[in-house]
Structure 1
């Protein structure tokens, strides 16, 4: 499972990263809010955010995360005990709030409870599955590696399985807010369909696409 950690205290950042990696998690850590902000769509299954960090604060990043991910857990870690700050964090969709200083064991428990994907292998059917750890699709046990945009699109589909996704939603997530023509989106869909043997992505006329799994 991939975790994004934002903590500007370098020593604490290193301690948290080391402990989580020992647990078997993959951790991408940042000390700068702007760098974290620019990488939130890289397929993370959990976010751990400090609030008071350089350039872009954790609350703004939380708000941006919720534009893309409705359900991915976000843990706020902060020294602030101001009620308004805590309320704001929950209002914008944080899953839990941990006040500094804290024992690293506390954070590990929250990650385990909120963020851990019980099965890193997401099966579409008996012959096809996606390995979250390696970001590789396996079709008939043969690995099918994905490009960055294919991986982002599949991550989006997996968070919204059996739900219709509009062209705008796909553009905002996969192209990270930049413009993408309808033909560019259709071309990406065709490539993903080819990887997945054209079995799961259905077209919703004049609207977008739906990823159907059992």
Structure 2
């Protein structure tokens, strides 16, 4: 299970990371609101711990924007702001929980377990668009009574596109989702794997296609679309 911690005080971030890794979670850190939002939108994480007082973009704004964009990952505010009005505002914006600093490690871990349990109960095991279906359990893409197995990177790309049908996903967001931070010279890997997915969609005779918006990114479109 992968958790994102968005906290600008590095000593606190590292302490939280140590607690979570001791409990066998995979942990990534972000130290400002804009970076945190970009990471959240990759939909790579099972849960997010989000501070409110952050540079570049505050946690309330981050939460509001990612919820507006349809991201449903559980988000727990972890903050020194303990006023009732702050808690109510955060929960009304779509936070799943609100923990004030200082906190006990056992309480933090218990809250995380509770939220991830609820999330797993609601999670579906497939995504559909047009005549294609992606099985999230076995990573098979199917259409017209045929199926193909996807590699890990193909699966992550197709999952991201299917979760945002018709929406242009920027190249850097797709790269962060699949490869994590990487050098710009390696961006051609994305084009290679998009090509692999297009070949598999043609093999399945899918009625959806991956469309390129030059200089921006890719989208998954239903119906007869010209693929660039």
Please state which band the TM-score falls in when normalised by the shorter chain: 0.5 to 0.7
Distance (whole Å) between structure 2 residues aligned to residue 55 and residue 110 of structure 1 = 28
Q: 2:200 aligns with which of 191, 194, 202?
A: 194
Please report the TM-score for the alignment, with normalisation by the length of structure 1. 0.65
Alignment map for 1:167-186 (pairs within 5 Å) = 167=166, 170-171=167-168, 174-175=169-170
Distance (whole Å) between structure 2 residues aligned to residue 176 and residue 144 of structure 1 = 19
Distance (whole Å) between structure 2 residues aligned to residue 145 and residue 83 of structure 1 = 44
Secondary structure in 1 matching 2:151? strand
**Partner deviation per Cα, 1:146-166 (whole Å, 9 max, x = no partner):** 25xx625504646xxxxxx65
Q: Cα 1:123–1:66, aligned 2, differ >3 Å: closer, same or farther?
A: closer
The offset of 1:12, in angstroms, is 1.7
- Larger helix proportion of the pair: 2
Alpha carbons 2:5, 2:50 under 8 Å: kept: yes
Q: Cα 1:78–1:69, aligned 2, differ >3 Å: closer, same or farther?
A: same
The offset of 1:142, in angstroms, is 6.2
Please say if 1:75 is aligned against 2:70: no
Structure 2 gap segments, 5+ residues each: 127-133, 142-146, 174-193, 209-219, 223-228
Higher-Rg member (1/2): 2
Q: Cα 1:75–1:177, aligned 2, differ >3 Å: closer, same or farther?
A: same
Q: For residue 7 of structure 1, what is the aligned residue in structure 2? A: 7
Q: For residue 66 of structure 1, what is the aligned residue in structure 2? A: 67
Distance (whole Å) between structure 1 residues aligned to residue 148 and residue 65 of structure 2 = 36
Which moves more between the two structures, 27-36 or 188-197?
Answer: 188-197
